[in-house]
Amino acid sequence: MKNVLKIWLVDNTVTVDNKDDKIGQLESSGNLSLQDILDEMHKEDTGLRPETIEHVVKLYNRVVSDLILSGYSVNTGLYHAVAQLRGVIDGGKWNPEKNSVYVSFTQDKELREAIAQTSISILGERQSVMYVAGFSPATATAGRPFTVNGRMLKIAGTDSSVGITITNSKEQTTPIDLNMLAVNNPSQLTFIVPAGLADGEYTLTVTTQYAGSTLLKTPRTAIATFYVGTKPDAGGGSGSGGGEGGGGEAPDPAA
């Protein structure tokens, strides 16, 4: 199967003086679960029973997880994975409140070769899409201003879901008080990061009914990953780079 990524051309909000400067925004093909992947594997007509495929995949996942969390650097051909640490260890003691473990994944040879064989299909320009393009500064500091750049981000509407939230790796969500929102423009939001936020990786969720001169009946959401404190070294793998938001594109519901 030949891989094709479909993209939309959207304005580059970083280069505001160049009206013709565009960046690519991925058109999502949807979300897949492990069961979806197992179903695709079964379609390959390997002669294996579905329960056998499921057992092997789950065994593989468990073994790889155990090896990574036993200190091994794992290269599967598809990706390279290694455990990393966060936080300063005070007094020679590990403190789960300040210290944590995460796993860094980077693309390996097979994935790089597949990327090289992937074609891009440009769907055209998309003006009304909502997205996060990046952050300023590149990483946030608790108690300090943080700017989100993008398009159609302005917080507006009366739906209960409208607003900004920050979610940590433990799925604990912190809403941003709109009184802490210093700038509320379509292309830029600036707010004060909550003072008690620990260093680490977070998910930013922006939900709004803003659609230019009108309000949407159904709110839409843009999601991006950002860091409080120092962004961990991903070991040279791919990513959005400094200040890039990861571009969670929102659907464009009809007003």
Q: Are residues 138 and 103 in the same domain?
A: no
CATH (domain of 184): 2.70.50.70
Q: Are residues 164 and 220 in the same domain?
A: yes
Least confident range of 18-27, 28-37, 113-122, 160-169: 18-27
Residue 89 lies in a domain: yes
Q: Are residues 10 and 117 in the same domain?
A: yes
145-154 residue pLDDT tens: 999 999 899 9
User: Region 164-182: what's the mean pLDDT?
Assistant: 93
- pTM of the predicted protein model: 0.58
Asked whether residue 81 carries a pLDDT value surpassing 60, the answer given is: yes
Q: Which is more confident, 216 or 53?
A: 53
Q: How many domains, the chain? A: 2
CATH (domain of 109): 4.10.520.10
What was the pLDDT predicted at 231?
Answer: 74
Residue 249 lies in a domain: no
Q: Are residues 86 and 134 in the same domain?
A: no
CA dist 96 → 15, 92, 104 (Å): 42, 13, 19
Q: Which amino acid is at 121?
A: S
Strand locations in the chain, DSSP E?
A: 4-11, 22-26, 74-75, 79-86, 100-107, 119-125, 131-136, 145-151, 163-167, 173-175, 181-185, 188-192, 200-211, 214-228
Q: Are residues 85 and 170 in the same domain?
A: no
Q: Are residues 51 and 103 in the same domain?
A: yes
Phi, psi of 34 (to 5 degrees): -60, -40
Q: Are residues 210 and 159 in the same domain?
A: yes
Asked whether residue 67 carries a pLDDT value surpassing 60, the answer given is: yes
Q: Which domain covers residue 161, as residue numbers?
A: 128-228
237-252 residue pLDDT tens: 333 333 344 445 554 5
